[in-house]
Amino acid sequence: MGVLTDYFRAADAESVVQALRRLDGGPLVGTRSPAFDGVEAKGIDVCVVLGQLIAAIKQVPWTVELVEEKTVWPATPPPGPDDLGDENDPWGTGPWVSELDNTTRDALAGVFDADVSRVVTEWVQAEELAGVRADDIEPLAKELVHLARRARDAGDRLYCWTCL
């Protein structure tokens, strides 16, 4: 079973929470158009894989703290550690949404189109992307860069929706 991840932009966490209360299937679904402007990025988790892209952009070593995130969904506080895993508990079953820090948004948004190939060539060196060719993942990197630019230009935040 793979992990599904969608990156999207929104004005604030409250608008995300309100939309997710009405949506079934994630932020990029909708009856006529997606609920949010975003990018499908299966398996590109925030801390590790996206973090390694940010490290390649910033030309710094990757650390798990490189991308800061704050959980905004589930909207209820997490239960105690002994309560996780109940099939009715969204903290155990997902989906989950994290708000990314603006430093991450701005790092992505600041990549020039002409530099994407160079950044991706470094990004695919990450162990978690073993076997992935730069040519295959470059379109996703471009989509993430363009999404971040739209978010920055609109004063929006970036979010990551994750589902098992």
Of 146 and 164, the one with more pLDDT:
146
- Angle between helices 102-109 and 51-58 in degrees, nearest 10: 60
Q: What is the mean pLDDT of residues 83-93?
A: 66
The per-residue pLDDT of the chain, averaged, comes to 90
**Mind spelling out the 3-state secondary structure of 29-98?**
CCCCCCCCEEEECCCCCHHHHHHHHHHHHHCCCCCCCCCCEEEEECCCCCCCHHHCCCCCCHHHHCCEEE
With 80 as the cut, is the pLDDT of residue 93 above it?
no
pLDDT at 76: 76
What percent of the chain is modeled with pLDDT above 70? 90
User: For the chain, which residues make up each domain, given as ranges?
Assistant: 40-163
| Sheet with 157-163: strands ordered across | 37-40, 4-10, 157-163, 96-100, 69-73
Q: Which amino acid is at 18?
A: Q
Of 145 and 94, the one with more pLDDT:
145
With 80 as the cut, is the pLDDT of residue 149 above it?
yes
pLDDT at 34: 84
For 28-85, write each residue's pLDDT tens digit: 876 677 889 999 999 999 999 999 999 999 999 999 999 999 999 987 776 666 655 5
pLDDT at 86: 61
DSSP at 156: P
CA distance 79 to 98: 17
CA distance 78 to 158: 22
What percent of the chain is modeled with pLDDT above 90? 71
